[in-house]
Amino acid sequence: MMVSILGKGAAGKPERQIMQLLRTTALVACAAMAVIVSGAAVSAQGVSEGSPFGNLEIGAVTVRIVNPSADAAINSRAEDAVRRALSLYPGARFSEQGMDFALGTARRAAGVANIDYDAAPGATGNVDLTINVTLADGARAAEGRGYALTGDSKDFPLIYDRNGTMLKFRLDALALYYANNNAWYGRPDLMLNGNPLVNGTPSGKGYDDWVEGYLHYGLYGITPIHSNLYLYGGVSAITAGSYGQELFTDKTRSHTFFEDAYVGIVGGNTDEQGNRLSYNLTAGRQRFTLANAFLIANTAANGEERAALQANARWSSDLLVLGQLSYNDTRFEAFYVDPDELPTLDTKTRIAGVNLETKPFDGFKFGASYLTVPQSRSNYFGPTGTIIGTRDGLELIDARFTYQPNPSNVAGPFFGGEIARQTNRNFDMDARAGWVELGYSLPQAKWSPSVSYRISYFSGDDPTTSTYERWDPLLSGGNGEQWVQGANHFKVVQDSNVIAHRIQARLKVAPRVEIVPQLWAFKADQLNNIGGNPALSFLSDHDYGYEANVTVKWFKSKNTYVHGHIAYTVPGDAVKSALGGSAKDWLSAMVFVRYAF
Q: Residues 484-505: pLDDT tens digits?
A: 999 999 999 999 999 999 999 9
For the chain, what are the domain ranges? 58-163, 168-596
Given a cut of 90, is residue 405 above it in pLDDT? no
Using pLDDT thresholds of 50, 70 and 90, give the confidence band for residue 425. very high
Q: Give yes or no for residue 19 having a pLDDT over 60.
A: no
Q: Is the pLDDT of residue 400 over 60?
A: yes
pLDDT of residue 269: 84
Name the packing angle between helices 96-106 and 72-86 (round to 10°): 130
- Residue 488, class by beta-carbon neighbours within 10 Å (0-12 exposed, 13-18 middle, 19+ buried)? buried
Handedness of CA 491, 523, 514, 477 (dihedral sign): positive
pLDDT at 25: 36
CATH code, residues 58-163: 3.10.20.310
CA distances from 72 to 16, 69, 76, 112 (A): 62, 7, 6, 15
Q: Give the 3-state secondary structure of 328-374.
A: CCEEEEEEEEECECCHHHCCCCEEEEEEEEECCCCCEEEEEEEEEEE
190-201 per-position pLDDT tens digit:
999 989 999 999
pLDDT score recorded for residue 32: 32
pLDDT tens-digit readout, 27-68? 333 333 332 222 222 223 444 445 788 778 887 888 888 888
Q: What is the spatial distance between Cα 479 and Cα 420, in angstroms, rounded to a whole number?
A: 20
Examine domains 58-163 and 168-596 and report if their fold is the same: no
Q: What pLDDT sits at residue 378? A: 96
Percent with pLDDT over 70 in the chain: 90
> What pLDDT, in 10s, does the model give residues 140-175?
445 778 889 888 888 889 999 888 899 999 999 999
Asked whether the predicted pLDDT for residue 22 surpasses 80, the reply is no
pLDDT of 276 reads 86
Report the mean per-residue pLDDT for the chain. 87
Neighbour tally for 21: CB within 10 Å: 11
C-beta neighbour count of 522 within 10 angstroms: 25
Buried b (16+ CB within 10 A) or exposed e, 207-235: ebbbbbbbbbbbebbbebeeeeebbbbbb
Arithmetic mean of pLDDT, 578-590: 96
Thinking of the domain 168-596, which architecture would CATH place it in?
Beta Barrel (2.40)
Cis peptide before 443 (omega within 30 of 0): no
CA distances from 416 to 270, 321, 354, 365, 577 (A): 30, 29, 21, 9, 36
Most confident of 60-64, 166-170, 404-408, 517-521: 517-521
Residue 516: strand, helix, or coil: strand
Overall average pLDDT of the 211-224 stretch: 95
Question: DSSP states of 570-584 as a string?
Answer: EE-HHHHHHTTT---
Question: In the predicted model, is pLDDT for residue 402 greater than 90?
Answer: yes
Give the count of alpha carbons within 13 A of 336, CB side only.
Answer: 8
Tell me the DSSP string of 295-310. Answer: SB---B--SGGG--TT
| Pairwise pLDDT comparison (442 vs 271), residue with the higher score | 442
* Confidence check: pLDDT of 15 > 50: no
Mapped to the 3 state alphabet, what secondary structure does 159-195 carry? EEEECCEEEEEEEEEEEEEEEEECHHHHCHHHHCCCC
Question: Structure pTM?
Answer: 0.85
Instruction: Give the type of residue at 111.
Output: G
Give the number of other Cβ atoms within 10 Å of residue 366's Cβ.
14
- 209 Cβ contact partners less than 8 Å away, ≥ 6 residues apart: 23, 27, 177, 178, 179, 180, 244, 245
Report whether pLDDT(298) > 50.
yes
Q: What pLDDT, on the 0 to 100 scale, is given for residue 74?
A: 77
Please state which of the ranges 71-85, 168-182, 361-375 shows the lowest mean pLDDT.
Answer: 71-85
